[in-house]
Amino acid sequence: MERRKVIIDCDPGIDDSLAIMLALASREIEVIGITIVCGNCPVDMGFENAKKVLNHLNRLDVPVYKGMEKPLIKEFVNALDTHGQDGLGESFLENVEGYEQDIDAITFLSNTLRKEKVSIIAIGPLTNIATLIHTDLEAFLNVEEFISMGGACHVPGNCSPVAEYNYWCDPDAAKLVFRTMKEHHRKVLMVPLNVTRQIVLTPELLEYMKQVNKVQGDFVEKITKFYFYFHLTWENLIGCVINDPLAVAYFINRNLCAGIDAYVDIETQGISIGQSVVDTLDFYKNEKNAHVLTSVDEHAFFEMFFSKVLDIPEEQLKFEV
Ligand code: BDR
Ligand code: CA
């Protein structure tokens, strides 16, 4: 089987870490690097967290590159309220010393995209990607597929009534990415909140994970505990929404979600700052620059997630969502 090469651009982050776990357990893809952007946590913390996850998986061979420390224009607002003081659910795992690369994330992206066929799975704010567009547009346009967890299609956001965190954190970057894709007749594969919010890890599912594979289940419990608490306090939800792994899962299997092609632009000012305006009814008669996901098969998602992360054949899984 040909393994598709991917770079994961992320801000780990609890659900980013789950996405990394899924990606590294997937034979269909080869993660050739992880690039860190400021978002859920400051970039240095995201770098440390990525190494903690890689260390747990025994995969410190995967290089991690630090990217942008602040959004293009807007003031940086992290999401440690959601992800805990250490950005990893207050698991306070020990730091893994070293592994700093000689080049930064943008240089890595540009060098790599210039020499090989690779896709980007972006599960944080789009500041690294926008900076790549500013510094080396040609390299960016070589990207095989560009998938972004972000935005919200006709549902409320999680930072304002209309804005989702990744696009709200750096709306100018998100706008540049969607505009650039449009100018070059390409489409962002957009994995928005309306689908990711369907992916709820419940206490029962977490318990099931621990029973199937204690080592991985315990690790997931350690890093999600705070997230469960956050969802209960803020939303009265018993469980936690794990957004980012859906982008990895959909990249691997297109049957997990359905979607539509649409023109998308991002608001960068005022009360709606960060909103992803998805023109599903084609009011603007603009070229469609995104494939926007609109529904997901949750059971099929968890089947893939459990089977790969817990290393068990799908046919042996028994759970309900
Ligand atoms: C997105 O924001 C972050 O908190 C998560 O990691 C995810 O990428 C969801 O809005
Ligand atoms: Ca993220």
Please report the atom of ligand 1 found closest to the CA of residue 11.
Answer: 6
Cα-atom radius of gyration of the chain, to the nearest Å? 18
Return mean pLDDT, the chain: 97
Mean pLDDT of the 205-215 span: 98
Mean pLDDT of the 215-239 span: 95
Q: What is the pLDDT of residues 279-306, one digit of tens each?
A: 999 999 999 999 999 999 999 999 999 9
Helix (H) or strand (E) holding 232: helix 214-235
Distance between Cα 285 and ligand 1 center (Å): 30
Dihedral sign for Cα 33, 35, 36, 39, please. negative
Name the closest ligand to CA 191.
Answer: 1
Q: Cβ < 6 Å from ligand 1: which residues?
A: 13, 15-16, 40, 79, 82, 123-124, 149, 158, 164-166, 243-244
The answer to whether the CB of 216 falls within 8 A of the CB of 307 is no
**CB proximity list for 85: less than 8 A, separation 6 or greater:** none
Helix 244-252, helix 14-24: angle, nearest 10: 20
What confidence score (pLDDT) does residue 284 get? 97
Confidence of residue 134 (pLDDT cuts 50, 70, 90): very high
Does residue 54 surpass a pLDDT of 90? yes
What confidence score (pLDDT) does residue 2 get? 87
Q: Assign residue 156 a region (left: φ > 0; alpha: ψ between -120 and 50; beta: otherwise).
A: beta
Q: What is the pTM of this model?
A: 0.98
In the chain, at which residue ranges do the beta strands (DSSP E only) sit? 4-10, 29-36, 64-66, 119-122, 146-149, 188-191, 200-201, 240-241, 257-266, 276-279, 290-296
Distance CA 245, CA 242 (A): 7
Does residue 13 surpass a pLDDT of 90? yes
What confidence score (pLDDT) does residue 203 get? 96
Does residue 1 surpass a pLDDT of 90? no
Report the Cα 124 to chain-centroid distance in Å.
5
Please report the atom of ligand 1 found closest to the CA of residue 83.
Answer: 4
Mean pLDDT of the 247-270 span: 98
Q: Find where tokens 């494939």 sit.
A: 291
Please report the atom of ligand 1 found closest to the CA of residue 196.
Answer: 9
Which residues partner with 279 through β-bridges? 263
Mean pLDDT of the 20-48 span: 98
What confidence score (pLDDT) does residue 41 get? 98
Which residues partner with 225 through β-bridges? none
